[in-house]
A = this chain, B = another copy of it.
Amino acid sequence: MTETVTEPSAAAAAGSKSEQAYRAVKARIVEGIYSPGYRLVLGSIAKDLGVSVVPVREAIRRLEAEGLVTFERNVGATVAGIDPTEYLYTMQTLSIVEGAATALSAPLVDSVAIARARAVNEDMRECLDHFDPVRFTQLNQDFHSILFEHCPNPHILDLVHRGWNRLASLRSSTFRFVPGRARNSVDEHEALLKLIESGADADDIEKAARLHRSATLDAYLAQAKTI
């Protein structure tokens, strides 16, 4: 439950150098080793990974299609930026697809999964006291991943993962961890679990899940206004 977010649609076998390059660069972006704005020079990456430029180039174009890097003709690739507008788009989209994923998954979440999710959520509460934002973020993903385990629509799940990856590259940026928001988040998680347990209407669950994400966005916007 602490593994990195993986795209279920990605080719399974990891053998090819192209695949290797794709995974390596993606990991470096998601883990924050390559920060937004970082210049991805084909030759350097190729030498770094011990492969030639062709597979690296291919990998980077694929990452471009996922929105993780931007590409400019004859200039090169950079890790995708973090301007507030882009953040807003991503969060809004996530609120929609996460809402849908939660609602679709809800009927398939059994009591065991609920218990596991609740345990994760309690760990998150713990993190609040010890102020451990990195772990908090990871547990947050774990929490939702549990709810999505039996999501009946892999396409939607894929969109959720793409959004998460995009946000991951913003880690340790301005957007991280709005003060006071985190505690609300934990409470909303608990409320969401209760809703699912009670077999609430799909619409209600969807709305709750959406608001959960929107609230984080709103908190950021409110904070941004005061700066």
Contact = CB atoms under 8 A, between A and B. Distances in A.
Contacts of A64: 11, 62
A198 to B, nearest CB: 22
Contacts of A155: 89-90, 92-93
A159 interface: yes
A65 interface: yes
Contacts of A92: 153, 155-156
As for how many copies of this chain the complex holds, the number is 2
A170 to B, nearest CB: 15
Interface in A6-65: 9, 11, 13, 15-16, 18-19, 54, 57-58, 61-62, 64-65
Nearest to A67: B9
A225 interface: no
Contacts of A9: 67
A161 to B, nearest CB: 13
A5 to B, nearest CB: 16
Interface string A74-99: 00000000000000011011001100
A201 interface: no
A204 interface: no
Nearest to A11: B71
Interface in A138-175: 153-156, 159
A156 B100 CA distance: 14
Interface in A109-164: 153-156, 159
21 contacts: A11-B64, A11-B71, A11-B72, A13-B73, A15-B73, A16-B73, A19-B73, A54-B54, A58-B58, A58-B61, A61-B61, A61-B62, A89-B153, A89-B156, A90-B155, A92-B153, A92-B155, A93-B153, A93-B155, A93-B159, A96-B97
